[in-house]
Amino acid sequence: MSAGQPPFDSPEIRRLTPVIGPGHTYGSVTDKISAIVLTRPTSLGWYVGFLIAFSIMGMMTVAIGWLIIKGTGIWGINIPIGWGFAIVNFVWWIGIGHAGTLISAILFLLNQKWRTSINRFAEAMTLFAVACAGIFPLIHTGRPWLAFYMFPYPSTMGLWPQFRSPLIWDVFAVSTYGTVSLMFWFVGLIPDLATLRDRSVRKPLKIIYGMLSLGWRGSARHWHRYQSAYLLLAGLATPLVLSVHTVVSFDFAIAIVPGWHTTIFPPYFVAGAIYSGFAMVLTIAIPLRKAYDLEDFITMRHLDNMAKVMLSTGLIVAYGYFFEFFLSLYSGNKFDVFLVQQRLHGPYAPFYFALILCNILLPQLLWSYKMRHNVAALFLMSIVVNIGMWLERFVIVVISLTRDFVPSAWGRYSPTFWDWATFIGTIGMFVTLLFLFVRVLPAISIAEMRELVAETSEEEK
Amino acid sequence: MREHEHIDSQHDHNDPAGDAKLHDGQMDLAAVRAKLQSKTGKQYWRTLEELAGDPQFEELLHREFPRQAPSEWDDSVDRRDFLKLMAASLAFAGLSGCGRTPEQYIVPYVKQPDGMVLGKPQFYATAMPFGADAIGLLVESHEGRPTKVEGNPDHPSSLGATNVFAEASVLNLYDPDRAQTVTKFGEIQTWSLFEQSAQAIAAETRAAYGAGFRILSGIVTSPTLAAQIQSLLTLFPKAKWHQWEPAVGDGTREGAKLAFGSYLNTVYRPERADVILSLDSDFLGSGPGHIRYAKEFSRHRKLNGPSDTMNRLYVVEPTPSVTGATADHRLPLRASEVELFARALAAKLGFGGSGTLPAGAEKWLDAVAKDLQEHKGASLVVAGEQQPAEVHALTHAINAALGNLGATLYYTYPLEERPVNHLESMAELCADIEAGKVETLLILGGNPVYTAPHDFDFASKIAFDQTTKQKKVKNTIHVSSHFDETSELCDWHVAESHYLETWGDARAFDGTLSVIQPLIAPLYHTHSLRAALAAFSDKPGVSDYDAVRANLEALGKRLLLMSFPDPGSFEKFWRKSLNDGVVASSAFAPLNATLKFSPANLPTPKPAPADEIEFIFRPDPCVYDGRFANNGWLQELPKPVTKLTWDNAALVSPKTAENLKVAQNVAWRGGEHGKVYSNVIDIALSNSKVTAAAWIVPGQADGTVVLPLGYGRKRAGYTGTNKGFNAYAVRASGALWTAFAPSSAIKKTGEEYPLACTQYHFSMEGRQILATGTLEEFRKNPNFANEHAELPPKELSLYNGEAEFPYNRDKWAMAIDLNKCNGCNACVVACQSENNIPVVGKDQVMRGREMHWIRIDRYYEKTVKTATNDPSSYDQSLFNPPTFFQPVPCQQCENAPCEQVCPVGATVHSAEGLNDMVYNRCVGTRYCSNNCPYKVRRFNFLRFQDWETPQLKLLRNPEVTVRSRGVMEKCTYCVQRINNARIESEKLNAPIHDGAIVTACEQACPTEAIVFGNANDKDSRVARLKAQQRNYTLLGELNARPRTTYLAVVRNPNPELESA
Amino acid sequence: MGEFGTPEELLQAVKKVREGGYRRLDAYAPFPIEGLSEALGLKRNLVPAITLLGGLAGGIGGFCFQYWAAAITYPLNIAGRPLNSWPAFIPVTFELTILGASLAAVFGMLALNRLPHPHHPVFNVGRFTHASSDRFFICIEAKDPNFHLEKCARLLQEVHAHHITEVSDD
Contacts B942 to A, Cβ<8 Å:
70-71, 73-74
- 3-class secondary structure per residue, A22-88: CCCCHHHHHHHHHHHHCCCCCCHHHHHHHHHHHHHHHHHHHHHHHHHHHCHHHCCCCCCCCCCHHHH
Tell me the domain boundaries of chain A. 18-460
> pLDDT band at residue B71, thresholds of 50, 70 and 90?
very low
**Top-confidence residue, C13 or B546:** B546
Decide if B484 contacts B716 (C-beta within 8 A): yes
Q: Are residues C67 and C79 in the same domain?
A: yes
Q: What are the helix (H) ranges across B349-409?
A: 361-374, 389-401
Could you tell me if C51 and C40 lie in one domain? no
Q: What is the DSSP string of B449-507?
A: HHHS-GGG-HHHHHSEETTTTEESSSEEEEEESS--TTGGGSSEEEEBPPTTTS-EEEE
Residue B896 in contact with partner chain C when CB distance is under 8 A: yes
Say yes or no for a CB contact (<8 Å) between C92 and A30. no
Give dist(CA A229, CA A184) in Å, integer: 10
Q: Cβ of A240 and C73 within 8 Å? A: no
Phi, psi of B521 (to 5 degrees): -65, 150
Backbone angles phi, psi at C144, to 5 degrees: -60, 130
Q: Do C98 and A176 touch (CB under 8 A)?
A: yes
> What is the three-class DSSP state of C55?
helix
State pLDDT tens for residues B215-241: 999 999 999 999 999 999 999 999 999
- The more confidently predicted of residues C147 and C54 is C54
Helix, strand, coil tally for chain B in percent (to 5):
30, 20, 50
Residues from chain A that touch C103, judged by Cβ atoms under 8 A, are 179, 183
| pLDDT at residue B921 in the model | 92
Residues C98 and C130 in one domain: no
Residue A366 contacts C, CB cutoff 8 Å: no
Task: Assess whether C53 and C37 both reside in one domain.
Answer: no
pLDDT at C67 over 90: yes
The whole-angstrom distance between residue B15's C-alpha and the CA centroid of its chain comes to 42
Q: What is the mean pLDDT of residues B371-377?
A: 92
According to CATH, the topology of domain A18-460 is: Formate dehydrogenase/DMSO reductase fold (1.20.1630)
**b/e map of B638-655 (b: 16 or more CB within 10 Å)?**
bbbbbbbbbbbbbbbbbb
Nearest to A225 among C85, C95, C113 (CB): C113
Within 8 A of A26 by CB-CB distance, chain C residues are: 30, 133-134
Amino acid identity of B1014? N
**Residues in chain B closer than 8 A to A405 (CB atoms):** 767, 933-935, 1035, 1038
Helix (H) or strand (E) holding B976: helix B975-988
Q: With cut-offs at 50, 70 and 90, classify the pLDDT of residue B87.
A: low
**C23 pLDDT higher than 90:** no
Cβ within 8 Å of residue C85, ≥6 positions away: A164, B799, C70, C78
pLDDT of residue B22: 37
β-sheet bridge partners, residue B741: B613
Strand-strand pairing, B855-860 and B674-685? unpaired
Same domain? For C35 and C71 the reply is no
Q: Model confidence over A409-460: pLDDT tens digits?
A: 999 999 999 999 999 999 999 999 999 988 888 888 888 888 777 777 665 5
Which range is least confidently modeled, A158-172, B557-571, B700-714, B809-823?
B557-571
- pLDDT higher than 90, residue A37: no
The set of residues, in sequence order, having a beta carbon less than 8 Å from that of B399 and lying 6+ positions away, is B380, B381, B405, B408, B409
Q: Cα separation of B637 and C77, whole Å? A: 35
Mean residue pLDDT across chain C: 85
Cβ pairs A/B, distance under 8 A:
191
**N residues, chain C:** 170
What is residue B12's predicted lDDT score, i.e. its pLDDT? Answer: 39
SS3 sequence of B353-369: CCCCCCCCHHHHHHHHH
- Amino acid (1-letter code) at residue A124: A
Who wins on pLDDT, A30 or A376?
A376
For residue B876, give Cα distances in angstroms to B858, B862, B881: 19, 10, 9
* Section B960-974 average pLDDT: 93
Query: Among B637, B630, B500, B626, which Cα is nearest to B65's?
Result: B630
Q: What is the mean pLDDT of residues A320-329?
A: 88
**pLDDT at site B97:** 40
Chain A contact set for C105 (CB, 8 A): 229, 232-233, 236
Using a CB–CB cut-off of 8 Å, the residues of C that contact B are 76-82, 85, 87
Distance CA B738, CA B386 (A): 9
A413-417, B391-395, B783-787: range with lowest mean pLDDT: B783-787
Q: pLDDT tier at B763 (50, 70, 90 boundaries)? A: confident
Asked if the model's pLDDT at residue B872 lies above 60, the reply is no
Q: How far apart are CA A348 and CA A342, in angstroms?
A: 8
Query: In this model, does residue C45 exceed pLDDT 90?
Result: no
Buried b (16+ CB within 10 A) or exposed e, B887-924: bbbbbbbbbbbbbbbbbbbbbbbbebbbbbbbbebbbb
Give the range among A260-264, B12-16, B355-359, B896-900 with minimum mean pLDDT: B12-16
C117 in A contact zone (CB under 8 Å): yes
Are the beta carbons of C79 and B803 separated by less than 8 Å? no
Query: Across the interface, do C37 and A220 touch by the CB < 8 Å criterion?
Result: yes
pLDDT at B802: 63
In the predicted model, what is the mean pLDDT of chain A? 87
Residue B340's nearest CA partner among B599, B631, B647 is B599
Q: How far is A209 from chain C (nearest CA, A)?
A: 10
Task: Give the per-residue pLDDT at A197.
Answer: 87
- What's residue B192's pLDDT? 92
Section B875-899 average pLDDT: 88
B764 contact A CB<8A: yes
Q: Is the pLDDT of residue A5 over 50?
A: no
**pLDDT band at residue A325 under the 50/70/90 scheme:** confident
Sign of the dihedral through C-alpha B666, B667, B668, B669: negative
- C124 CB within 8 Å of a chain A CB: no
Please give the residue range of the domain that contains residue C16: 2-44+121-158
| Whole-number pLDDT of residue B25 | 38
Whether residue C165 is contained in a domain is answered as no
Tell me, what's the pLDDT at B534? 93
The percentage of residues in chain B with a pLDDT greater than 70, rounded to a whole number, is 87
pLDDT at B199 over 90: yes
C29 touches chain A (CB under 8 A): yes
| Residues of chain A contacting residue C115, judged by C-beta atoms under 8 Å apart | 214-216, 222
Q: Per mean pLDDT, which of A283-297, A389-403, B345-359 is the most reliable?
A: A389-403
- Predicted structure pTM score: 0.88
- State residue B86's pLDDT score: 52
What does the pLDDT average to over B847-865? 85
Answer whether B805 sits within 8 Å of C76, measured CB to CB. no
Average pLDDT, chain B: 85
pLDDT recorded at residue A149: 93
Instruction: Please report whether residue C35 resides in a domain.
Output: yes
Interface touch A447/C36, C-beta < 8 Å: no
pLDDT tier, A192 (very low <50, low <70, confident <90, very high otherwise): confident
Amino acid at A151: F
Answer whether residue A366 shows pLDDT above 70.
yes
**Given an 8 Å threshold on Cβ–Cβ distance, is A451 in contact with C32?**
yes
Q: Cβ contact (<8 Å) for B899 and C78?
A: yes
Would you say residue B39 has pLDDT above 60?
Answer: no
Mean pLDDT, residues B320-348: 90
Neighbours of chain C (3+ CB pairs under 8 A): A, B
Q: Which chain C residue is nearest to residue B802, measuring alpha carbons?
A: C82
Residue type, B116: M
Query: How large is the average pLDDT for residues B765-781?
Result: 87
Q: Which of B848, B901, B923 sits opposite A78 (nearest CB)?
A: B848
Q: Looking at beta carbons, which residues of chain B come within 8 Å of C92?
A: none
Question: Taking residues A224-234, what's their average pLDDT?
Answer: 90
Q: What is the total count of domains within chain C? A: 2
CB–CB contact B925 A141 (8 Å): yes
Chains touching B (3+ CB pairs < 8 Å): A, C
Q: For residue B10, what pLDDT is reported?
A: 38
pLDDT of residue B3 exceeding 90, the answer is no
Give the per-residue pLDDT at B306.
87
Per-residue pLDDT, A441: 84
CA dist B353 and B349 (Å) reads 11
What band does B66 get if pLDDT is binned at 50, 70 and 90? very low
What does the pLDDT look like over B578-592, one tens digit per residue?
888 899 888 999 998
pLDDT band, residue B1043 (cuts 50/70/90): very high
pLDDT level of residue B85 (50, 70, 90 thresholds): low
Q: Is B814's pLDDT higher than 90?
A: yes
CB B365, CB B344: distance < 8 Å: yes
From chain A residues 124-143, the ones with a CB under 8 A of any chain C CB are none
% of chain A residues with pLDDT over 90: 47
